[in-house]
Structure 1
Amino acid sequence: MNFTFYLNQKISRLAWFFVYASLGVFCVQVHAGSPLQGYVMQIQMTPAVCALDASKQKQRKCLEGYSLTITGLLPETSSSNCSTTSSATLSPLQAKVVARVMPEENARIQLWQSIGGCVPMNASQYFRLVINLAENLKIPADLSGGDNKSVTQSNLRSQFIRLNPSLPADGIRFNCQSQSSRSKPLLTQLQVCYSSNGRYRECARHVVSNCPTNFTIKGSY
C-alpha cells in the first residue's frame, strides 16, 4: 500500500493528474546544477506523537486521526542558512493534495521558509516532489493497522525493502520515544533518504536511528 493512498483513498483523479502533469517541470529544475547532496523525508507516526506531545493534540492531524504525516523533505547541503522569503502559497487544488500528507498549513509554510533557500525550485515544485515521493513509497502492513503492535527493527526494515526493492538497507532510519522509563519505546518517525534526483540512497552518517531492537507501533490515538 503506498503512502498517500493509505492516507486517503478518495483523492480525485483530477488532483493526481495535476501532480503528475507537473513533474516534468521539476525534472528540468533539479538537473540545473543543483549543489544538493540529497534529501531526507521525515515521516511522522502521528498517533504516537499525538499521545506523547500534549501541545499537538488539538492539531488537525491528531483530531482527524491521521496515521502517517510528512513533516519535511529536508535538503542535505553544506549551507548553514536555507531560509527564504519566497512565497509558500499553493493553488487551492495543490494545497488540497498536499494536505493529504501534510495537513497543517502553518507547518507547511514554516517548513518552506526554513528550507526553500537550499532547493532548486519554487514552493509549488517542491511540494509536488513531496507528493511524488510519498506516492511511490510503499508502506508495510505493520504501519497501516489501527492496533498497537510490537515489532523488531530488523523485521520492519525488511518489510520496507521487500516493498521498495530499490531502497538500500541503510536508506531508512527509525526514531523512537518512550512514554515513561518503564514503557516500551514508541516509533515516532521514519527517515527515508534520497539522492538529489529523487532516487533512494544510503543515509548519511548524520541521519541517525535511536530505536532499540524492539519497539511499539501505536496504531491509533
Structure 2
Amino acid sequence: MAVYIGFLLFTVQVYAASVQPQGYVLQIQLTPAVCALDSSKQKQRKCLEGYSLTISGLLPETTQKDCTVTSTAALSPLQSKVVARVMPDPNSRTQLWQSVGGCVPMNPSQYFRTMINLAEKLKIPADLTSSENKIVNHQNLKTQFTKLNPTLPINGVSFSCQTSKSNTVLTEIEICYKVNGQYKQCSNHIVSNCPTSFSIKGAY
C-alpha cells in the first residue's frame, strides 16, 4: 500500500492549501514517557490502554503562516478504526487536522491515509517498543533506524527529549519526508535536543 504514497500526494485534488508544502514531518510519540511526564494526558486513551508508540502529527513544511481550518476531521468508521491504531484519541485527530488542514493539498481522509501509509512503511527499532526501561546511545539509535530503513538518511531522523528527576527521557521521534513520501534529510530548523545517551521508558 505504501508504494502508492507518491502517486497519492501528486494526484489529489488541491483543497485548502494555497502553497504546496516542501515536505512533511511525521511526529511519533514515545507514549509511556509522554504519559508519565504530562499529567494532563494521563486520562487519554493512549495512556489508559498502554500504547508504546503513537503518532502526534504529520506536519507540512510550508511558508504559509496560518494553516488552521474550522472543518472537522470527518472520517468513515472504518478509517477511524485504522487511524485509532496510531492516534487513538478522536479529539487529538480533530485538533491536528484543524491546525494543519489549511496547508495540505488533501482532504481529511486523504491526509490521514497518507499518515497511515507513512507509518506502516517505517520500520521501528525494537528498543522503542520494549516494555523494559533502557539507556541508549543517540548515534546508535539513529543507525538502527537507517539500517531498518535503507533509504532513510542519517539526518532524516531527529529525537526530542525531556529531563525528569535528572534523567533525560526520549519523548518524540521526527521522520522527514519529501512531498512524494520518500525520506529526506531534515530541514535545519529540526534539531535534536537529546544528549549523547538517554533513557527510553518502556513501562508505565
TM-score (norm 1): 0.86
Query: Which of residues 38, 41, 65 is equivalent to 1:53?
Result: 38
Residue number in structure 2 paired with 1:139: 124
**How much does 1:141 deviate?**
1.0
Divergent runs of 4+, >6 A: 19-23, 30-34
> How many pairs align?
202
Cα RMSD (Å): 2.2
Query: Which of residues 159, 163, 172 is equivalent to 1:189?
Result: 172
Query: Which of residues 136, 142, 157 is equivalent to 1:157?
Result: 142
Counterpart Cα distance in 2 of 1:100 and 1:49: 17
Counterpart Cα distance in 1 of 2:192 and 2:5: 34
**How much does 1:24 deviate?**
5.8
- Answer yes or no: is 1:205 the counterpart of 2:188: yes
Q: 1:110 to 1:167 in 2, by over 3 A?
A: same
**How much does 1:29 deviate?**
1.6
Q: 1:34 to 1:78 in 2, by over 3 A?
A: closer
Q: Structure 1: state its 5+ residue gaps.
A: 1-15
CA contact (8 A) 2:5 2:180 kept: no
Deviations 1:115-141 (A, max 9, x none): 001000100000000000000000001
Query: Which of residues 130, 150, 155 is equivalent to 1:170?
Result: 155
Deviations 1:169-214 (A, max 9, x none): 100100100112xx22000000000011111000001111100000
Q: Structure 2: state its 5+ residue gaps.
A: none
CA contact (8 A) 1:30 1:196 kept: no
Residue number in structure 2 paired with 1:10: none
Task: Name the % identity.
Answer: 60
TM-score (norm 2): 0.93
